A and B are shown apart, each in its own frame.
Chain A
Amino acid sequence: MLAYILRRIVYVIPIVVSVALVCFMLVHITPGDPLVAILPADASQELASQLRIAYGFDRPLPVQFGLWLWKAVNGDLGHSIATGRPVLSEVMRAVGNTVTLAIAAAMIGFTLGLFFGLLAGYFRDTWVDKVATSIAIAGVSVPHYWLGMVLVIIFSVQLNWLPAVGAGPGGSGAWGWDWEHIRYLVLPAVTTSVIPMGIVTRTVRALTGDILSQDFVEALRAKGLRETHVFRHVIKNAAPTAMAVMGLQLGYMLGGSILIETVFSWPGSGLLLNSAIFQRDLPLLQGTILVLALFFVFLNLMVDIAQAAIDPRIKRS
């Protein structure tokens, strides 16, 4: 198992370097001036050149990449051009808020997804299956930002039950796990959860149906096992694939949703990315993308290891 984990970690290194290179290149090939946040369009060419030198944008791209990567390896992602604040602290604060949202959404989405998926798979082609499948299709089809706006109109504007925007009465810096704060999380978490709920439902339904049709299930029943025991075997066999799907979904959610976080003014990585994109804040953009990509890579690594722990066949392959 240790050899397997080490091998997976070694595979991660070139992925991380490639991710760093791609995110650096992507933000640099986009048109526009990287100093647009602090340099008005009427600024003189002399002033523009002076600032370009001050921020190191006059150097060749490979040199800029090398310097940035070296600093990044040493835990320094530079400073935001627009705010002057260290990128790492900006990203970590935003990621923390997104993690809060993602975990809440995962709890809702995965719980409902597993419930509806198992139900639909076990009662395949019955009305239960049809209802659960319809909910899943609605989950993956409804534009989540639209759903967010609808929820805000109903629960905030009309009923005045839940806040429309923000991350707590005093902002995320004063976050606490009490109802005064959690009420700010409800609408964005529900909105974020609908897509993973739909995907998990469909995946688990297909897996359950497939496993139930396999011979070993018949054998278990023939041995006289109670249906709850048979079901436990079905769950165990479905778990690796379901976990992989949930891991990916959690990864997507940890990446933050630009649309949902903007609709709810939730100060997470999606809103940070949105702001960085519109302000052409290259260090912030690069840093945010890199950190999120690393999260994704790390999460995949964890899922791979967990899968191998559950299903020894994966380790052997």
Chain B
Amino acid sequence: MTAVAAISSSDTSARANIRFVLDGEIVELDDVDPTRTVLQFLREDLRRTGTKEGCAEGDCGACTVVLAELDGSGNGLSLKAVNSCIQFLPTLDGKELITVESLDLHGNGLHPVQQAMVDQHGSQCGFCTPGFVMSLFALYKSQSDPSRRDIDDALAGNLCRCTGYRPIVAAASAMYDIPAADDDWLRQPHGSGVSVTDRVERLRQIARDSSLELHHGKRAFFAPRTIDELAATLDAHPDATILAGGTDIGLWVTKLQRELETVVYVGEVKEFAAIRESDAHLEIGGAATFSDAIPAILEHYPLLDDMLSRFASPPIRNTATLGGNVANGSPIGDSMPALMAAGASIVIRSADGSRELALDDFYHDYQVNDLRPGEFIERIRLPLPGPDTRLHCYKLSKRFDQDISAVCAAYRLELEDGCVKSIRIACGGLAVTVKRATHCEQAMTGRPWTEDTIAAGMAAFARDFEPITDMRASAEYRLRSGQNLLRRLYLETRGDLTESVYLYGRHG
């Protein structure tokens, strides 16, 4: 054990290659193309074709694989399903990659998840099936008695066009009843006997304690390990692409065929992903994933549950970061309306130091923000709510799960003696950036919380936005539904509307 650690620490400083675990073996790759995807590597280099490409944009889940890494304690494993089609190969460094083939490696017998899918007739054409199997595997390892909603949520990133999902949901329940080997972490029925301890050891063996730097032709890839290193790297390469979850940048490569020369990956900067609470704020590191950030946010703002559970899909939430969503600054990004309404600010960092800016002031125009070359979002400061603060957020889209908003509207409301003490409204999908509805806010502030005030707010709302028409919704719908959401807010605060259509009849 100590010997392994010693070898690994003396080894890593010199390494300019990547190492990860696959089926218990350490895979070492040099001369890695930094923007080669994990899916390309599996299918084209290893000819390991169980993992499929359905869309190459992280929206269908046919490419789902599971990544395991050392958990916070360093003694256990945490795992997450990810979309291999938009995951760049160097991000595997230091992790274990588990694919559909891993679950029944030698064809000795199907894994309980796989067997349940067979028993319940969960596959028809079978093309989406490996992805479903991996999402189910992640569920299997993380929960022991999932509800229908848990299952829906776990599978929100996997599309099936054949079955209509009923038998897959059945498999998600039945998989726990199929015998598996206790000594095997994967829990194959004919286990390979690889325990969690063995796996942890393997990961420790390949752990790296200095930053990774790869060069491949004109392309370079840096994975610094501290915020200072990150700032220095960006200072040296101000034009670099900052890569966090890669859930958007991946598409630049797979869909737009863009060449990214220098990529700085922030996923290894542990302190950058930290989430902590100060007196008045929740401080969310820029590289914290949605999967980590959402529970922390919900602790203070439980009314965001509906909306955040519909944020993308588990594989996307597992890699996408709050900082990335904010920095990307899409007018239809789903985290910013709630953050902005809540009065969040961001701490911007560079080699020269840091500055704080209200999120209100961050966006200047369509995909233009206040970040200068060499700068990055170090953390997001979300104010903790006061006792009378309510933060609501509504999302409208054609489909409930894994869809991009037509409209996303958030409201921070404080009522006092039946009057609007303060209201902050921020909306996505209605302008070139996520934006406050200031006319609407003014029209209601200080007035009694009544139908009349809502009507005035709705009228003023029309002066705040001039939305566009596109394939997600028409300008008319965006404005009209945006106005109507204000009414929904009102009815909810009065207790006249207690349930969303999304969750109606779906408890448990």
Partners in one complex: no
- Contacts from A to B (Cβ < 8 Å): none
- Contacts from B to A (Cβ < 8 Å): none
